[in-house]
Amino acid sequence: MLTLKTNETEARERLNAFWYGKSLGRPALLVNAKNQEYTPTKWIGKNMPQKEKDFNPEWQAWRCLNDLNSTKYLAESIPSVSVDFGSWLVMLALLVGADYEYDDSAWIVPQDNALDIVAGKFDPSCEIIKKLESCYLKVIETIGNKAAICSPVMLDAITTLSMIHTPDKLCFSLIEEPEKVKKLTNDMTTLYMDCYEHFYRFLGEKGYTDSATWLKIISNGRTEAVQCDFGVMLSPEMFEEFAMPDLRRLTSYFENSIYHLDGIEQMRFIEQIASLPKLTAIQWNPADWNWKPDEHMQYFKRIREMGLSLFIMCKNVDYAVYITEQLGSDGLMLRLPYFESEAEAVATIARIEKIK
C-alpha cells in the first residue's frame, strides 16, 4: 500500500470507523483546500472536444497531475485519481454498444430496440477497455506514488438502460416486457462487475490496491457507491422487483459500499436499501442543493437509527457543525466545502473536534 500523506494512518483508522458506524472522537471529514504554492499548468496539447479528451492518455495524465498539485488533502481526504470520462455516466453503456455525446455534461444517445441489446461477456480486448488501459498506464507513469489510482466509475444497469431506452419507454417496458428487462439488466450487472474486477486487478498488479468512489472515500479493497437513479420513477414494489436483485449482487460483490440516495424521494425505499448485503452507509443527495439540515434532520436520524452510516456533503461549515451537534460523530462523514487556504481548513477541523 502506498503512503500518500503524513496523517494517513490516522485518516484510514477514522475512515474504517465510519464504515463500521463508529468514530474516533469526531466525524470523519473530507477536507480539501487550495494549494496556494502551486500555479496550475495549462494544457499545451492540441485543442480537442471533450469526448476526444476522455480517452486521450496525455490529457488524462495532465488533468490528474494538475488536480493533485492544486489541492491540499486534510483530515480524511486522501489523494486519489481515476480516468474520468463521460461525466461518470457512460462506462456500462459503452460496453453494451451504446454511445454518448456532450452538452453541458455527457448524455447517452438513445437508440431504437434497446431491449434487444445483447450484453455479452466482458471482453478485456475490446476497444474501449484497451483505450482505458492506455490512459491508466499514462496516469500511472505521471502520478507514480502521489495518489491512489482507482477503477473507473460505473453506473447501475437499469439507470443505464433507462438512458439508452429513454425513461418513458422503459417505464412502459417494465409493464409490457418485464422478463426481458430483468434478463438484460442482470446481464449488464454481470458486465459491470466483470469490468470493475478487470480494472481492480489491473491496477492492483501495479501496486494500487485502494479504491475510491466518485465521492472520494478511500478504502482498501473493492469499494463503490452503488445507486439506482431510475428508482425515483418506481414504486417500492417495482423497486423490489426491478432494482433490488441487481443491487443485492453488487453489494455482495464489494467489500465496502455506500448507497447514493439520489433525491429525498428514494427515502421510500430506505427499508429495502438497508437490507442490502454488506451495505453500511448512505450518501445523502437531495435533488435541491439549497436544502437546510434542520429540514432533513428527521431523515438523518432515521438512517442512523437503522444502523447505517451517513455521508453528507455540506454546503457550508455551519451546516457541518449543526449536523454534528444533532447526530453526534458515530457513523458520520461530512464533506466540507472547498477552502481557499489550508489555515482556514485546519481551523474548521479544530472547531468540529471541539463539539461534544
Does the model's pTM come out above 0.85?
Answer: yes
Query: What is the predicted pLDDT for the residue at 228?
Result: 98
From first to last of the 356 residues of the chain, give the pLDDT tens digit: 567 899 999 999 999 999 999 999 999 999 999 999 999 999 999 999 999 999 999 999 999 999 999 999 999 999 999 999 999 999 999 999 999 999 999 999 999 999 999 999 999 999 999 999 999 999 999 999 999 999 999 999 999 999 999 999 999 999 999 999 999 999 999 999 999 999 999 999 999 999 988 999 999 899 999 999 999 999 999 999 999 999 999 999 999 999 999 999 999 999 999 999 999 999 999 878 788 999 999 999 999 999 999 999 999 999 999 999 999 999 999 999 999 999 999 999 999 999 97
Q: How many CB atoms lie within 10 A of CB 5?
A: 15
Angle between helix axes 178-204 and 167-176 (nearest 10 degrees) is 120
Query: What is the predicted pLDDT for the residue at 1?
Result: 56
Torsion of CA 152, 153, 158, 162, to 10 degrees: -100
Query: What is the predicted pLDDT for the residue at 213?
Result: 86
Strands 332-335 vs 309-313: parallel, antiparallel or unpaired:
parallel
Burial class (CB within 10 angstroms; exposed 0-12, middle 13-18, buried 19+) of 342: middle
Question: Domains plus CATH for the chain?
Answer: 8-353 (3.20.20.210)
As beta bridge partners, residue 80 has: 148
Query: What is the predicted pLDDT for the residue at 287?
Result: 79
Say if CB 75 and CB 30 are below 8 A apart: yes
The full length of the chain comes to 356
Query: What is the predicted pLDDT for the residue at 313?
Result: 95
What DSSP string describes 4-22?
-STTHHHHHHHHHHHHTT-
In angstroms, the CA 133 to CA 135 distance is: 5
3-state helix, strand, coil in the chain (%, to 5): 50, 15, 35
Query: What is the predicted pLDDT for the residue at 2?
Result: 63
